[in-house]
Chain A
Amino acid sequence: MSALVDEQLLEAAPTGDPKLPRIKPHTTTEIKQHLRSAKTLWCPGCSNGTITRALIDAVLGLEIDPEKVVVVAGIGCSGRISAYLDYSTVHTAHGRALPVATGIKAADPSLHVIVAMGDGDSSAIGGNHFIHAARRNIDLTALVFNNSIYGMTGGQMSPTTHLGDKSTTSVYGNVEPAFDLCELAHAAGATYVARGTSWGYQQLVNVLAGGIAHSGFSMVEAMAICPVYYGRFNLTSDPAEFLKSQKEHAVPVDKFDEGETRSHDHYPVGLLHHRERREYVTALRSLRERAQEAHNG
């Protein structure tokens, strides 16, 4: 077991991989106990439901008290997860999930705070908050649903829309290069960075569990599929075909050569970066102790 993860938390989780917990999938009955409603507004073929299930599987696998789980979400398709999960949930404003979560975690460090965001949510309007949460290394788990497009507003380009892609605001092809969210998080100081896909369900569950158990800022990029907008404009509107393309594009990180070019159709998945660095809430606690000692003489 890596020292990066909270040993106590992972005790209950079946292990095997030196870095990641291996979570046994749970039954639909067990999953539903963590849902307020199984009815969603997501389009048929959308992978957000799969990612939501993966998150519940990870929480169940880690045997965390559901009462101590707080899910903070932004605005967009991904943000709706907050209304469906039966934890304490906050549906914030567009891009503002991370600073709200920062206040929650700093005020009550006993909570497991998971921040659900979309790609535009986290890296366009919330980009500043994203890099600073990573820099502080605050113990939050950022779960980014990356479908490479703004779905809720009907298919506009986002910072993760690939060069040349079509969207309703890039009808001639996108002229902007895309962010690699994992490398962005890593460069900004995140201490646990992982990527999974909606096709590779078990891996997504495992990297999510590892991220939640990790003490520090963890970022899990869940490669989502949006057949209705992104797929229809660029690849395929058939969800099954779209999922199959993820299987072809995603390469396990241990088989991915460092020198290889990363692109939207060739990217590493798994735990990409992990390191130890002082966690922010812990640092705040020791600052408080020093200040109180000085104050009380």
Chain B
Amino acid sequence: MTTPTSTAVPAATRRAVLLQGNEAVAEGAIAAGARFFAGYPITPSTEIAEVLSRRLPEVGGTFIQMEDEIAGIAAVCGASLAGTKALTATSGPGFSLMQEMIGFATMAQIPCVVVDVMRGGPSTGLPTEPAQGDVMQARWGTHGEHSVIALVPSSVEECYTLTVEAFNLSEQYRTPVIILSDALIGHMREAVVLPEPGTLRIAERGTPDCEPDEYDTVTSTLDNILPRPPLGSPFRVHVTGLVYNRRSGAPDTSDPAAAADLGRYLREKIYHHRDAIVRVEEVEMHGAEVAIFAYGSVARSAMAVVRKLRAEGVPVGLVRPITLWPFPTLAVDRMAEQVRTVIVPEMNIRQMSWEVQAAVRGRAKVIDYGRVDGKLITPDEILELVKPEFYYHSWEDA
């Protein structure tokens, strides 16, 4: 699967609308073919539920407000198993509650989308303020060895396009996909041009190309991940969170070889396709001596700094992961070979900068900068981090 860094839709087919990030997620889900939402209200994600409670019935879908977030993602797993594309949306404490069933969806290979609109934490924390403190929870929040796909939108338009992309990836790799939005992106309004319906690539769930009695004898490979037939079909599938035999689907907790086969497969089915999954935007990296590695709303401030400094002739570039998990190791590798310094501003304390450091492997200096007060990292703050790296530059006008 080729993944361009921006949606290649001809300008003539585009229409501009004023949307909030959360609304864009909801509309993106509908465009992706999602017809089921179950969740629980929580700031700052609630608008996603509100919009979908109105929009889903209009398009023949189902909205259910469940008794808690655990039930929300559980119902999403059920709807997906019954053959319907499904999503849930939450924030902070709700994302913590969902980890159990994210693990179930991972183990049982259930396609679904989980939107986490990040807010300050831990616990109730700063309910209305943006943060990026869940990036490691998205990776490792559920117990046990597993892989995950997580996407980070930096704009309202990306809230829309990445939601479509999240559904495509979840169907293709039969795995939950997490969208890491935040309180800023979720509540911000921007005029965005949305792709016309019909111009987006939409991955549909296929049906296995075999007879029901043959289904137990065919096995997915890394390059051919077979779709699971819906519940209530002649295939009479068994779905379980126990370790199972990958061929028959039957639980098998006594054979270490079966456990190893499943465990490695669940990891490799994502990592084997890492180059196809990972999307990174590189801005002004040509000739850059210093790179800013920033994602989500912080990347907006970083972008402003890069534009300003490039206009002054200062060789600074931006590496913006759109896919946070799997980690964009190749892009960081390229960056490490080129620049002498990498600056990692994030609304947490060193969560991704540790990953960057590990991938840079000493080839460049890594400067981390974190805020956990619910306030945005401004372009001026990032500029102050860049300045010492160009001590020979005349900064009077900056």
Binding site for B on A (CB under 8 A): 36, 66-70, 72, 75, 82-83, 86-93, 96, 98-108, 110-111, 128-129, 132, 284, 287-288, 290-292, 294-295
Contact = CB atoms under 8 A, between A and B. Distances in A.
Given A104-B81, A104-B231, A108-B232, A91 B74 contact: no
A284 B233 contact: no
Q: Which 10 A-B pairs have the closest CB atoms?
A: A103-B78, A103-B75, A291-B57, A99-B74, A99-B71, A107-B82, A91-B240, A107-B79, A103-B79, A295-B58
Contact of B233 (A72, A83, A88, A290): A88
A90 B231 CA distance: 9
B385 to A, nearest CB: 44
A103 B67 contact: no
Given A93-B100, A284-B62, A295-B58, A107 B84 contact: yes
A129 B66 CA distance: 9
A190 to B, nearest CB: 15
B236 A88 contact: yes
A95 B380 CA distance: 50
A292 B58 CA distance: 5
Nearest to B251: A83
B233 A106 contact: no
Interface size bracket, B side: 35 or more
A93 B240 contact: no
Given A99-B66, A103-B76, A291-B58, A108 B82 contact: yes
A294 B59 CA distance: 11
A104 B251 CA distance: 21
B74 A96 contact: yes
A132 B231 contact: no
A102 B250 CA distance: 24
Nearest to B229: A88
B27 to A, nearest CB: 14
Contacts of B81: 90, 100, 103-104
Given A103-B38, A103-B86, A82 B78 contact: no
B330 interface: no
Residues of A contacting B: mostly: helix
A111 B232 contact: yes
Given A89-B236, A98-B71, A100-B78, 13 more contacts: A83-B240, A88-B231, A99-B70, A99-B74, A99-B75, A103-B80, A107-B35, A107-B83, A110-B232, A288-B57, A288-B60, A292-B60, A294-B58
A179 to B, nearest CB: 18
Contacts of B76: 103
B36 interface: yes
A102 B58 contact: no
Contacts of A291: 54, 57-58
B242 interface: yes
A67 B60 contact: no
B232 A82 contact: no
B101 interface: yes
Contacts of A93: 74, 100-101, 103-104, 241
